[in-house]
Structure 1
Amino acid sequence: MKLKESSLDFHAFIAIYGDTILNSFIKKVYQVNQKEFVLQIYRSDVKKRDFFISLNKGIGFYDAEKPEEATQLSMLFRKQLSEKRIVGIEQINFDRVVRITLHTGQEIILELFGGGNLILTDNGKIVFAMEQHVYKTRKVQIGEEYIPPAVINPVADLETFSGILDKSSASIVKTLATRVNLGGEIAEEALYRANIEKDKMPSEIKDQYQILYDSIMEIIGESSKNNAFYYEAEELLSPVLLTAINKEPDVKFEDFNEGIDFYLKHYPENEKNKSSVERRIESQRRSIEEFNKLMQVYNEFGNYLKMNFPQLQKLINIIYNNVKRNTPEDFKYMDMDISDINPGKNTFAINYNGTKIILNYRESAGNNINYVFNTAKDYKGKIEGAEKAIEETKKLIVKEKQKAGKKKRVKYWFESYHWFISSSGNMIMAGRDAKTNEKLVKKHMSDDDIYVHADLYGAPSTVIKHEGIEITEETIKEACIFSISLSRAWPAGIGSGTAYWVYPSQVSKTPESGEFVSKGSWIVRGKRNYVLNIPLELKVSIVDYKGNNIPMISPAETRTESKKWVLIKPGNEKRSVAAEKIAKILGIEKSEIDSILPPGGSIVVENSKEIKELS
Structure 2
Amino acid sequence: MVKGLLKKAMDILDIYSWVNKYSSVITGCLIDNAYHYKSYWILKLRCREGVYIVKIEPGVRMHLSQSHPEEKDIDGFTRFLRSRIRDSRITSIKQPWWERIILFETSIHDKILRHYVELLPRGQWIITDQSDKIVYASRFMEYRDRSIKPSEVYSPPPLKSLSPSDKDALLNIVKGGRDLVRTIISAWGIPGHIAEEAIHRAGLYGVKNKGVSEIPYQDLEKLVDEYRRIVEEALNGKGYLVYGDENKLEIYTSYEPRLFSEVYDKTVKPLDDINTAIDVYFTEYEAYLDYQARMEEVTEKLREIEARIKRQEEIIAEYNNEIENIESILQTIYSNYHVAEEILECARETREKKGWEHIAEECNGVIEVRKDKGVIVVKLGEKTLELSIREDLSRQVIELERKRGELVRKTESAKKVLEEMHQQLNTISISMNTEEKTIRKPSPTFWYERFHWLFTRNGFLAIGGRDQSQNELVVRKYLGENDVFIHADIHGGSAVVLKSGGAHSLEDVVDASYLAACYSKAWKAGFSYIEVYWVSGRQVSKTPPPGEYLPRGAFMVYGSKNYLQVPLRLGIGVREYVDDIYGEYLKIVVGPQELVRSQAIAYVVVIPGDKKPQDISKEIAGYLEEIILRQRGVKYKIPLSEIESKIPGPSDIMLVSTP
The TM-score with structure 1 as length reference comes to 0.51
After superposition, the Cα gap between the structure-2 partners of 1:563 and 1:463, relative to the gap in structure 1 and judged at 3 Å, is: closer
Tell me the residue number matched to 2:224: 213
Q: Are 1:113 and 2:115 an aligned pair?
A: no
Tell me the residue number matched to 2:487: 454
SS in 2 for 1:131: coil
Cα deviations across residues 304-340 of structure 1 (Å, max 9, x unaligned)? xxxxxxxxxxxxxxxxxxxxxxxxxxxxxxxxxxxxx
Q: 2:170 aligns with which of 141, 161, 167?
A: 161
CA distance in 2, matches of 1:111, 1:158: 26
CA distance in 1, matches of 2:142, 2:564: 70
Q: What's the CA shift for 1:92?
A: 1.1
Q: Are 1:410 and 2:410 an aligned pair?
A: no
After superposition, the Cα gap between the structure-2 partners of 1:156 and 1:250, relative to the gap in structure 1 and judged at 3 Å, is: closer
Q: What's the CA shift for 1:228?
A: 5.5
After superposition, the Cα gap between the structure-2 partners of 1:484 and 1:108, relative to the gap in structure 1 and judged at 3 Å, is: closer
Q: What's the CA shift for 1:117?
A: 1.3
When structure 1 is superposed on structure 2, of 267-276 and 116-125 the one drifting more is: 267-276
Q: Assess if the C-alpha contact under 8 Å between 1:480 and 1:500 holds in 2.
A: no
Q: Percent identity?
A: 13
Cα deviations across residues 21-46 of structure 1 (Å, max 9, x unaligned)? 99x8x98795443744759899xxx9
Q: Assess if the C-alpha contact under 8 Å between 2:533 and 2:561 holds in 1.
A: yes
Unpaired runs of 5+ residues, structure 2, are 1-5, 297-425, 578-582
Unpaired runs of 5+ residues, structure 1, are 282-397
Tell me the residue number matched to 2:13: 8
Q: Assess if the C-alpha contact under 8 Å between 1:133 and 1:141 holds in 2.
A: yes
Q: What's the CA shift for 1:97?
A: 0.9
Q: Assess if the C-alpha contact under 8 Å between 1:166 and 1:202 holds in 2.
A: no
CA distance in 1, matches of 2:499, 2:281: 13
Q: What's the CA shift for 1:525?
A: 8.4
Q: What's the CA shift for 1:440?
A: 14
Q: Assess if the C-alpha contact under 8 Å between 1:12 and 1:239 holds in 2.
A: yes
Letter in 2 for 1:410: R
After superposition, the Cα gap between the structure-2 partners of 1:400 and 1:446, relative to the gap in structure 1 and judged at 3 Å, is: farther
Q: What's the CA shift for 1:49?
A: 11
Q: 2:272 aligns with which of 241, 249, 252?
A: 252
Q: What's the CA shift for 1:8?
A: 1.8
CA distance in 2, matches of 1:250, 1:156: 27
Q: What's the CA shift for 1:410?
A: 1.4
Q: Are 1:223 and 2:223 an aligned pair?
A: no
CA distance in 2, matches of 1:60, 1:219: 21
Q: Are 1:484 and 2:516 an aligned pair?
A: yes
Q: Assess if the C-alpha contact under 8 Å between 1:266 and 1:413 holds in 2.
A: no
SS in 2 for 1:146: coil
The TM-score with structure 2 as length reference comes to 0.48
Q: Assess if the C-alpha contact under 8 Å between 1:478 and 1:558 holds in 2.
A: no
SS in 1 for 2:440: coil
CA distance in 1, matches of 2:272, 2:541: 27
Letter in 2 for 1:96: R
After superposition, the Cα gap between the structure-2 partners of 1:33 and 1:523, relative to the gap in structure 1 and judged at 3 Å, is: farther
After superposition, the Cα gap between the structure-2 partners of 1:513 and 1:98, relative to the gap in structure 1 and judged at 3 Å, is: farther
Q: 1:74 aligns with which of 74, 81, 103?
A: 81
| Structure 1 residues 233-272: aligned runs within 5 Å | 234=249, 239-242=254-257, 244=260, 249=269, 252-253=272-273, 259=275, 268=283, 271=286
CA distance in 1, matches of 2:510, 2:573: 16
Tell me the residue number matched to 1:364: none
CA distance in 1, matches of 2:472, 2:210: 51
CA distance in 1, matches of 2:53, 2:588: 36
CA distance in 2, matches of 1:72, 1:573: 38
Letter in 2 for 1:149: P
After superposition, the Cα gap between the structure-2 partners of 1:404 and 1:21, relative to the gap in structure 1 and judged at 3 Å, is: closer
Cα deviations across residues 226-285 of structure 1 (Å, max 9, x unaligned)? 5566789749776545555576747535xx6xx46x97699726616854973999xxxx
After superposition, the Cα gap between the structure-2 partners of 1:217 and 1:539, relative to the gap in structure 1 and judged at 3 Å, is: same
SS in 2 for 1:92: coil
| Structure 1 residues 433-444: aligned runs within 5 Å | none
After superposition, the Cα gap between the structure-2 partners of 1:265 and 1:136, relative to the gap in structure 1 and judged at 3 Å, is: same
Q: What's the CA shift for 1:73?
A: 1.6
Q: Assess if the C-alpha contact under 8 Å between 2:604 and 2:655 holds in 1.
A: yes
SS in 2 for 1:91: coil
Q: What's the CA shift for 1:111?
A: 0.7
CA distance in 2, matches of 1:76, 1:186: 41
CA distance in 2, matches of 1:169, 1:414: 46
| Structure 1 residues 412-561: aligned runs within 5 Å | 412-413=442-443, 454-455=487-488, 459-460=493-494, 473=504, 477=509, 480-484=512-516, 486-488=518-520, 492-494=527-529, 497-498=532-533, 517=552, 522=553, 533=564, 543-545=575-577, 546=583, 552-556=589-593, 558=595
SS in 2 for 1:454: strand
Q: What's the CA shift for 1:446?
A: 9.3
RMSD: 6.7
CA distance in 2, matches of 1:32, 1:498: 41
Say which structure is richer in helix: 2
Tell me the residue number matched to 1:98: 102
